[in-house]
Copies of this chain bind each other. A is one copy, B any other.
Amino acid sequence: MTRTAIQKPDYEAELRKAGVRITRPRRIIVGILTDTEDHPDALEIFRRAVAIDSSISLSTVYRTMKLLEGLGAIHRHAFEGGPSRFEQAGGDHHDHLIDIETGDVIEFKSDRIEQLQNEIARSLGYDIVHHRLELYGRKCKVK
């Protein structure tokens, strides 16, 4: 779900198209986002960025995440408790199961649920703009 060759986004092109400058901090941050398997938070992105260029500031990470979110290039998730976590947009839609023991995030997708959501909203007189489905659970012994 996270990794599929075709949909790997060209952030630089997206930035250029948005008419913003392609700076060194931005290049580094989108680089990190591009080859990230997980759902890192701002601080984690900052850590990885500093490892590449120690002059990058946390403010810039936050500003860049907000910029990319505005462009629709990344998604922000506010999982229970912790800070916002991010992932690149462009993949197909999916929802998340969070392991409450480890914090691991597992992606899943259910067309059936998506469809039911639409039916429910519709029956209430609404169009869904976006939604959030998060399952919090722990590994069970019986498979």
Q: Which residues of B contact A113 (CB under 8 A)?
A: 113, 116-117
Question: How many protomers of this protein does the assembly include?
Answer: 2
Contact-residue bracket for chain A: 20 to 34
Nearest B residue to A118, CB-CB: B135
Q: Which residues of B contact A128 (CB under 8 A)?
A: 135-137
A1 interface hit (Cβ, 8 Å):
no
**Contact bitstring A113-143, B, C-beta under 8 A = 1, else 0:** 1001100111011111111111111111001
Stretch at the interface among A7-15, A16-24, A61-69, A104-112: A104-112
Task: Say whether B108 contacts A120, CB under 8 Å.
Answer: yes
Residues of chain A at the chain B interface (Cβ within 8 Å): 78, 80, 97, 99-100, 106, 108, 110, 112-113, 116-117, 120-122, 124-140, 143
